[in-house]
Structure 1
């Protein structure tokens, strides 16, 4: 296995050039936009939100995870720009953060969907209310799980295999060659969260559509809730599904030479997972009433400094009940 993996890593270097303008462009956009959007999201959540719901707790942790990820992207930009000098350790640390962010984002997005679903489907349940109060503990558990699993996946072979100093960001995921680890990633890290999100999305749309309040204009904006469900599922599938498909493809090339086209596809799907760092804040804007209103009000105040505060209050009073209540 170790000999086969070494040969595969050597082949990976032969397939890919270090300099890649597409990676440089995409990582640069994600880095600059991700820092701006996620920092703005944290400011809104901490400074402009009076009552912090349980869903907001998950979103805050998601924004922090995305900020940690985008802070490592300058290393990837530097590497793919053709510059030398990055140590393998720095590449591995950046890889650990990317992997932890990916599975952390998956679990946090799942928690957001589950929290909204149970809040709508079981609004009077005392057990549900008590369970939702454990959101900070759930987030702590997610951080411990994702960081621990990511460290194990990246560093498990350091004592048994000599590190190829020329790999850096062109390395192959070692756990893709281990059936037990790959199975855990595909089930616990992706499959089960996907099933939960699908069930929660279906349950949420069904509950809202059958609610008597949804039939009363101005009380519940069912279109916005359906849009929220669609956006969350789109982010989840577009960012994370291609990567996990490529892990399965790589596993089936375990005992033979991986085609260069497969390796290229893997690196591009890995890059696609980073897009969630800028898509998550957009989801906050389009699906969270509090976030949307604060961003819009601040923008309007800068553009129209003479705006009447009372008119803003009237606008708030006419707003339909939306996902902020979840």
Structure 2
């Protein structure tokens, strides 16, 4: 428990006997958030929206889910897409007041939690599927089926929804009453008389607040990071050992891909989750304004690095495979054909269309003969 009053996180409505400390300004943290919020997060939203939309579009129009990895890739793309769609509203809520009401507040925060858990657990499932396909190759045909992957994905979404129930329940839309909130769009000289509503935690008593504010991040750390991390380390380490024993000219490329996947996951998520672990463990400790401001600045920057992973997932898990790249290329070929069909002169449109369709067919024939694994 820190001794400062965070202007972006309103105080708990239940605490009437809290001592009156002078509020911290958090000028350094606010300056970082002002840059990270509207600019860097906008880039993440655009890249994540384009990349994951292309993955979903490719599965919908050109590539059918023929393996467990395909099913998991599709669900990861859906989770990441829903996350980047919610991210602008989360950033707006952290920088300004929340004008959209109670239902939108709960849906926003709850969907963020659901997509976080589901996306991370799907990545663990992909590593498990690669482990079974490569390390347990003799038993892979019996253990891997598309129907079972659909069941697993359904159970993961249900599980993510269940562990997100506290977020749905305890986030509320309300007007803080104990002190004024300093928003990024206001200056020190301004005095806003209009009601400023927030979408934040709200509790009925201090005991509930203490339990939830420790239990929720602890669950996020355990299920949303450390469990997938341990599964990925075990599975991909076993895959690398098995590939090193294989006498194939593709093994070096496959090993590099696996190591890049693990490295990117660790670099993106480990720093933020370690900072979150420190914040959770030291929740009941008193911190001065400088320490609190430094922690908030670090959390803001490291959280943005973690958000980058939703942009990198399409590159790491989808477009790195030859088969997926061929389908992706086919999308642009069809778009070019449509453009040439409507822009070319009428007498040459038929010839142009025939050439385009011939090119597309050759691309499809090549892609149908390639592997679906993201390791090739």
Separation (CA, whole Å) in 2 of partners of 1:183 and 1:195: 16
In structure 2, the residue matched to 1:323 is: 373
Shift in Å at residue 80 of structure 1?
6.2
Alignment partner of 1:271 is 2:307: no
Number of equivalences:
313
Per-residue deviation, 1:89: 5.8
Higher helix share: 1
Structure 1 position 281 matched with structure 2 position 326: no
Change (3 A) 1:189 1:69: closer
**1:230: which partner in 2?**
259
Unaligned runs of 5+ in 1: none
TM-score (norm 1): 0.78
| 1:211 corresponds to | 246
- TM-superposed CA distance for 1:64, in Å, is 1.0
Q: What is the distance in 2 between the residues matched to 1:175 and 1:280?
A: 35
1:109 is matched with which residue?
A: 123
CA 1:32–1:223: 2 relative to 1, 3 Å: same
Counterparts of 1:171 and 1:26, CA distance in 2: 26
Range that drifts further, 81-90 or 22-31: 81-90
User: Are 2:2 and 2:292, in contact at CA under 8 Å, matched by a contact in 1?
Assistant: no
Q: Normalised by the size of structure 2, how large is the TM-score?
A: 0.69
Alpha-carbon separation, structure 2, partners of 1:188 and 1:49: 31
**More deviation, 199-208/290-299:** 290-299
Q: Could you tell me whether the CA contact under 8 Å between 2:127 and 2:235 is conserved in 1?
A: yes
1:291 maps to which residue? 324
* Gap regions ≥5 residues in structure 2: 11-24, 182-196, 203-208, 338-351
Q: Rg: which structure is higher? A: 2
The offset of 1:197, in angstroms, is 0.3
Deviations 1:167-186 (CA, angstroms, capped at 9, x unpaired): 847879x7897555544433
The SS at the match of 1:255 is coil
State how far apart, in whole Å, the 1-side matches of 2:228 and 2:261 are: 12
Q: Tell me what 1:195 maps to.
A: 230
1:111 is displaced (CA, Å) by: 0.4
